[in-house]
């Protein structure tokens, strides 16, 4: 949460234990159902199954420096040719 200028709080990982405004007024919000569920890490890397190598390379070309800055890339951006 450093990039937001906020201190870390373990409660972030337990968000499903807290009441959310989305519960009271979901108005069809796509996150309304998932807001009340614990974090799910079982599909980490799913993008690699859903996107082609060319799509991943293009996304990394466009957003790579920001992804790296936020800790989403552990290696330099891909140079995959499609």
Say if residue 9's pLDDT is above 90.
no
How far CA 66 is from CA of 43, 45, 55, in Å, comes to 22, 18, 17
Answering whether pTM is above 0.75, one says: no
The structural domains of the chain, with segments of one domain joined by +, span: 1-40, 44-82
Q: What confidence category does residue 28 fall into, taking pLDDT thresholds of 50, 70 and 90?
A: low
The first and second tokens of residue 29, run together, are 């919000």
Say if residue 76's pLDDT is above 50.
no
């Amino acid at each position: 949460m450093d990039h937001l200028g906020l201190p870390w709080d373990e409660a972030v990982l337990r968000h499903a234990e807290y009441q959310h405004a989305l519960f009271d007024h979901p108005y069809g919000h796509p996150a309304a159902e998932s807001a009340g569920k614990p974090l799910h890490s079982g599909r980490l890397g799913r993008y690699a199954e859903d996107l082609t190598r060319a799509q991943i390379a293009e996304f990394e070309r466009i957003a790579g420096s920001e992804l790296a800055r936020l800790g989403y890339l552990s290696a330099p951006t891909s140079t995959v040719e499609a």
